[in-house]
Amino acid sequence: MQTPSGVRIKKVTLPQVTESFDVIMFNHSLEHVPDPVTSLRDACQRLAPDGTILVRVPTPSSDAWQVYGIDWVQLDAPRHIVLPSREGAAIMARQAGLAVVDVVDDSGTFQFTGSEQYKRDIPLRSGAHKPLFSRGDLARFAERAAALNACHRGDQAMFILRKAA
């Protein structure tokens, strides 16, 4: 199948892929697989020379996990099977023949809005319901998220991986 802009779409598992790629991205998907090291290893085998693997996942190496504990919205059991710490992500990468070359925190306000709802025993809500948080609350959450991202304490991060030397 091909999109109108020429992008080929295939519905296959990683071991069925025969091509190599400059960039492979696990965008909030690796936390849903039972064996992320095998998935990373399979991706590494399909990586072009000088290629990059991007892994975006929630991480408990965060302020939100420390503050909210079992109310942290990113636990998301049973959908999230593996939530690697920053050290855990580096270990998984090494086991797959990869190295972490950079980490970019990209958390937003959801770490607070979702966790606050869970803390109050309120199910996650759509925007159609009465707002639970004021504009001021949301502004403070956004500022806090930016500050946590800047010091690598956000609750989700993108790990940039390359083949280990």
Per-residue pLDDT reduced to its tens digit, 90-127? 999 999 999 999 999 999 999 999 999 999 988 887 65
Task: Quote the pLDDT of residue 126.
Answer: 60
Residue 63 near residue 145 (C-beta atoms within 8 A): no
Range of the domain at 51: 20-163
Q: Is 11 domain-assigned?
A: no
Q: Is 62 domain-assigned?
A: yes
List the beta bridge partners of residue 98.
163
Q: Is 15 domain-assigned?
A: no
Domain of residue 119, CATH code: 3.40.50.150
| 3-state SS record for 84-115 | CCHHHHHHHHHHCCEEEEEEEECCCCHHHHHH
Task: Quote the pLDDT of residue 56.
Answer: 98
Residue 117: phi, psi to the nearest 5? -65, -45
Identify the segments of the chain with pLDDT beneath 50. none
pTM: 0.91
Q: Is 1 domain-assigned?
A: no
Domain count, the chain: 1
Task: Quote the pLDDT of residue 10.
Answer: 85
Q: Is 14 domain-assigned?
A: no
